[in-house]
Structure 1
């Protein structure tokens, strides 16, 4: 396997810069693995492909307003900070820009001192470990001072910050949205339940490591960052019951997929209550143990996410689907259109 096997040419104009007004109006490319056929639909048609008793598994993580702009206390120099992972209490792993200006002991002020950060360590990958100090409740201070951390390929300002959250976002902690879920509305989820489709939730706090480019020729040598996941006993039992009776489990997004496959790998194919950190890297060939299909967006060339979807189908069919999407001018990436692999 070579990283070049997962490359493709994407015209820049197909990178969606703004979300559609109607979440369900996104286009939907449907891949049928059995017949190796491709259909072009709209996301509101997704329920046509699900049966009563099937299960949609959604990641209910909520994106933090994790981008902060502050100044160095000693020099007044401007600093941009992106929160990645909470380590313990008020200690966070972050990215800073310009990084070379932030050394151990550097103090950074946000909102005229409402929030202070002290650098306590310089990490191998170039990030920093900082400890925050503030008065009150951290999430309230962060909501007041922080901005939504949109991916770097999105150049437009987001007018409605909630448009980068799923309608079911609940558990705060992500540095990025689980974007496959952005296509769902409350009405569509209610319609699914009325059709007898189970809705289950897992939590995986998305880190930017998920989107980090693979810089090695051999993907097997790529080092995945760990992300925190949690599945409650109630939700695990719901998903396992679907599997037990022979119905299908469809993951909404690669993050839900990685959560379920981590648990199934560690528990002899069963979905059970579990939490922890996962660095699972799914690439061809891979035997899926938890899911029967996937709803996902279109991903970056040479990314770990393209490798994951290739493992669920096969690389040639995935590349055929991507080329069809480009020919049909689908919108790509976070605010783009969707793919259903069934």
Structure 2
């Protein structure tokens, strides 16, 4: 189906953190997105696919931005995220960012793989590899049982490498690091997903205040004004909160979003203790990531050199065996 230019995708209103080439030429963004619509790279071949070609197998879940279904095309099974098109510039920007980052991150094994996407009159459909679960659902399905430190270590290696890749290769900050955006498959592979509120960094900084999940936000983002810049160390805070949640089985703050935000601003940072059985390296990295002063927090290159990450990357930990065991438990 040919989609005319009068069908607004919201490009004209999207300026902040889009990146220099797109600010001056929104038509190039339109052409880039529409030119690749319906082209899926499957099994090493580029195929022209329509919505009717994608046979529905099952609905996988619903969220505020759309729904995910399992579909197949010529025997290839994929997860398809469907998002309604909107004239709302904020929603349009989410869709555009997700499309652009997924399509450009094909060479990163720590980011969920996209086969391509389809844009119709009513929705945008992103076709991705099927993963078994997200870590948020994993915790809920196991009654919030703590995840063993060696498993958290392997998961952390993958997430840090994904975040470092985004910053190093594409100058992008994720801005929504949390367990629900970390996926796991049956072979034990961990991948980062959901780039709708990611942003391009300008001189290594971002400015948007509206993006992100407040309970996982760093103090400097919670208290910032609209034009107060921040950098990837805000995602490092979110990483620290996520590691604590996975290791303990529980989110480290309690109460409503308002109470949580107050706790982020007023209470000492969450921590892990060696007296509770966690290694000194793990406790040290969590403390480093959760420094309230952003200037004292590490960047990704430093985290990748930390003993907790280095040792867990080298460790022969079988995440797949652990995952299969807990999912088969009564």
TM over 0.5: no
More helix by share: 2
* TM-score (norm. length: structure 2): 0.26
Between 1 and 2, higher relative CO (CA 8 Å, sep ≥ 6) is seen in 1
Q: Higher strand proportion, which one? A: 1
Instruction: State TM-score, norm by structure 1.
Output: 0.25
